[in-house]
Structure 1
Amino acid sequence: MSTRSRSLFVVALAALLGACSNAVPKSETPSDELPALILPADLVADAGQSRPVGASPDVTPDRGDDRVADNRPADPRPADNRPADPLRAGALVVAAPQPGSYALIIGIEKYRDVPAATGARGDAERFAEMARTTLGVPEENVRLLLDDRASKTDIAKQLRWLQSNVPAGGRIYVYFSGHGAPDPTSGASYIVPYDGDPQYLGESAMKMTEVLGDLEKTKAKDVLAIADSCFSGAGGRSVLAPGTRPLVRVEPVKTTARVVLLSASTGAEISGPSADGKGGLFSKYLIDAIGSGQADINGDGQISLKELEDWIKPRVKREAKRANRDQTPSVQVGKKLGAPADFIVSWGYAK
């Protein structure tokens, strides 16, 4: 075919297509699924076309990957203002407020005379946030003592404050994150305040049984005392005087009638850090359990002491084993408080 003949053919074809563009024949195939018109390559070149007829210049070709489209509507808010996913971000949930509750929270990381208890301050700050948000403790009822503001005198003053202010029928949460120490002679357990010295425990530290006794003297209906420390003298969050043997026989701490004692480990074990080294292993799971409501095992909208223990204990034991140590959280319940299943730690979680 000569060049002149080809040009005449293209012009005629274009006129024919223009005349038919408004008359779409009926078809069982939807119009947007009809195959594109195929023209001989030499005719397309002669007509000055750079793409096959029917192709769109704005369509990005399919790359053949396996991504799945997200059909959820886009959140118009800036990324910084969007609510966090509580399961991914570890966000605290809001449970029922407890207007009659009080919290004394102590976190000592930097000590005056003994090595640091890594992550203890952060543990206490996170617990305080959870106390306000999830446990619903009123802000004016929260006392937070950190580092050099947690001397023996500071802690003693706040225990007296609880005795003077907690009304009859109220509840107290006490949380301690820091070093514990055993008396090498008697095996008695002490919590070590900021200015504590393991060589002079009787003068500078606070015996656990005496702290629990001070809590028993309040008017509270019940007390949940939590200790992320250890008393074995074997390392971790436990300290000994220089020259003493690394492990002493620790006498079990006996709680009082209206106090629950939840400890990070048993007397002969080490209370160690979480895998990321940012805080205590026990505190990590404690805050996850209550703060996100994960310990509500039966889904009834509340967390009992038994559920809390059953959720925390296997996780702490498993992660401690991976670090080649033994750590077993323990619970003691005062004789006036009934069974662990009857002691409700927090409530009001969405079902």
Structure 2
Amino acid sequence: MSRRIVLSLAALVLTPACKQTQIATATPVDELPPLIVPAELRVDAGSMNSSGGGSQLAHNDVRDDGGSSSSDWRSTADDSGKRNSGGGGGGGGGKGGAMVSASPQPTAYALIVGIEKYRDVTPAGGARSDAEKFAELARVTLGVPEDNIKVLLDDRASRTDIAKQLRWLQANVPNGGRVYFYFSGHGAPEPTSGISYIVPFDGDPQYLKDTAIPMTEVLGDLEKTKAKDVLAMADSCFSGAGGRSVLAPGTRPLVRVEDVKPQTRVAMLSASSGAEISGPAADGSGGLFSKYVIEAIGSGQGDMNGDGQISLQELAEWVGPRVKREAKKANREQTPHLTIGKKLSSADEFIVSWGYSR
């Protein structure tokens, strides 16, 4: 018997068996196993460098069909598979900084600014990397749609660029939406008044009024959007005493810096208070404040009471002590500061991120 005939007979024998086999084409949602995200698909918050234009943002936004993540954040918080409680002051920004997905926020918008290399002043080390990591946090964990995110880096973050994107927010954020504003870079105080400015790429501390943007003006522009609430975060300082703060040559550091007061619908979490210095993380990954903000939200560790969501109160209480403790090891004072607009809910009712799987 030829080989072709044998194969034909085998096919005739096997075909009926295949027809009788019932293969399920769909599994009921309530019977789906937990989503296991392979390690190679997780976004490592410490894997992106700050080496200028060659750095790429990852796009590994892994969610199940319902939008909420079913991966257990406790198993992705560090390489050992155990939840890092943060008790020892260790943090993300290294290999333990894998981000997890939480519930998407389809009406949220994010404007993210990171300026490391300035045209006329000294670099703000790690600021570009901070912004890139926060942009990935916005995509993956906060679930902000890609089209709703604007990222301005280095020479693309001039005074005009920032002002233009603030106008973009005012034109596009819908009624009841949310805005996340994040800035990483230099701040500067106006020597006579103590008014705090953020320094854009083309800013000059000798001509702040003409080249920089008052922080109160930024917050005022955010207030003019149609958002229900705004969360502004700034990894900079305005003391003029060093770190992420610059002064005109020959100007003495200020003793008193005017407090930045948010608008009625704006909450602001800043990296330091008063005349303090906002400095880098010990591992050199970027700003100390940004390191712990990204870890708290991106890994879900900021969910201190285990209810599957992170309130602004929890975020501040999780980040603050860690920043303060690590700064003391570097022989400086740095205390993150939270202020809440009058029309906003209390900090424990302002939910930053939710839908963390337990």
Deviations 1:42-79 (A, max 9, x none): xxxxxxxxxxxxxxxxxxxxxxxxxxxxxxxxxxxxx9
- Please give the residue correspondences for 1:179-198 in structure 2 after superposition, counting only pairs within 5 Å: 179-198=186-205
1:87 aligns to what SS in structure 2?
coil
CA contact (8 A) 1:182 1:248 kept: no
- Please give the residue correspondences for 1:118-129 in structure 2 after superposition, counting only pairs within 5 Å: 118-129=125-136
Look up the match of 1:311.
Answer: 318
- Structure 1 residues 81, 301: CA separation in 2 closer, same or farther (over 3 Å shift)? closer
Note if 1:255 corresponds to 2:262: yes
Specify which of 213, 223, 246 is matched with residue 216 of structure 1.
Answer: 223
In the TM superposition, residue 278 of structure 1 has moved relative to its aligned partner by 2.1
Specify which of 241, 256, 270 is matched with residue 234 of structure 1.
Answer: 241
Of structures 1 and 2, the one with the larger relative CO (CA 8 A, separation 6+) is 2
Specify which of 177, 184, 193 is matched with residue 170 of structure 1.
Answer: 177
- Please give the residue correspondences for 1:220-299 in structure 2 after superposition, counting only pairs within 5 Å: 220-299=227-306
Note if 1:94 corresponds to 2:101: yes
1:311 aligns to what SS in structure 2?
helix
Deviations 1:157-192 (A, max 9, x none): 000000000000000000000000000000000000
Specify which of 118, 126, 131 is matched with residue 111 of structure 1.
Answer: 118
User: C-alpha separation between the residues in 2 aligned to 1:101 and 1:118?
Assistant: 29
Deviations 1:4-61 (A, max 9, x none): xxxxxxxxxxxxxxxxxxxxxxxxxxxxxxxxxxxxxxxxxxxxxxxxxxxxxxxxxx
CA contact (8 A) 1:233 1:248 kept: no
1:335 aligns to what SS in structure 2?
coil
Matched letter for residue 234 of structure 1: A
2:99 aligns to what SS in structure 1?
coil
Give me the CA root mean square deviation: 1.3
Larger radius of gyration: 1
Specify which of 113, 137, 141 is matched with residue 130 of structure 1.
Answer: 137
Q: Give the ranges of 4+ consecutive aligned residues of structure 1 lying more than 6 Å apart after TM superposition.
A: none
User: C-alpha separation between the residues in 2 aligned to 1:111 and 1:311?
Assistant: 32
User: C-alpha separation between the residues in 1 aligned to 2:288 and 2:214?
Assistant: 24
In the TM superposition, residue 246 of structure 1 has moved relative to its aligned partner by 2.3
- How many residues align structurally? 273
User: C-alpha separation between the residues in 1 aligned to 2:245 and 2:350?
Assistant: 29
User: C-alpha separation between the residues in 2 aligned to 1:339 and 1:100?
Assistant: 21
- Please give the residue correspondences for 1:6-45 in structure 2 after superposition, counting only pairs within 5 Å: none
CA contact (8 A) 1:187 1:248 kept: no
User: C-alpha separation between the residues in 2 aligned to 1:80 and 1:87?
Assistant: 11
In the TM superposition, residue 247 of structure 1 has moved relative to its aligned partner by 2.8
User: C-alpha separation between the residues in 1 aligned to 2:39 and 2:340?
Assistant: 44
- Structure 1 residues 310, 153: CA separation in 2 closer, same or farther (over 3 Å shift)? same
Matched letter for residue 171 of structure 2: S
User: C-alpha separation between the residues in 2 aligned to 1:221 and 1:81?
Assistant: 37
CA contact (8 A) 1:305 1:340 kept: yes
User: C-alpha separation between the residues in 2 aligned to 1:133 and 1:82?
Assistant: 12
CA contact (8 A) 2:199 2:213 kept: yes
CA contact (8 A) 1:117 1:178 kept: yes
In the TM superposition, residue 338 of structure 1 has moved relative to its aligned partner by 2.2
CA contact (8 A) 1:118 1:278 kept: no
Matched letter for residue 147 of structure 2: E
- Structure 1 residues 81, 223: CA separation in 2 closer, same or farther (over 3 Å shift)? closer
- Structure 1 residues 115, 167: CA separation in 2 closer, same or farther (over 3 Å shift)? same
Matched letter for residue 283 of structure 2: D
Matched letter for residue 203 of structure 1: D
User: C-alpha separation between the residues in 2 aligned to 1:338 and 1:141?
Assistant: 24
1:143 aligns to what SS in structure 2?
strand
Matched letter for residue 78 of structure 2: L
CA contact (8 A) 2:257 2:274 kept: yes
User: C-alpha separation between the residues in 2 aligned to 1:330 and 1:91?
Assistant: 26
Matched letter for residue 279 of structure 1: G
In the TM superposition, residue 248 of structure 1 has moved relative to its aligned partner by 4.1
1:297 aligns to what SS in structure 2?
coil
- Structure 1 residues 222, 324: CA separation in 2 closer, same or farther (over 3 Å shift)? same
User: C-alpha separation between the residues in 1 aligned to 2:136 and 2:318?
Assistant: 21
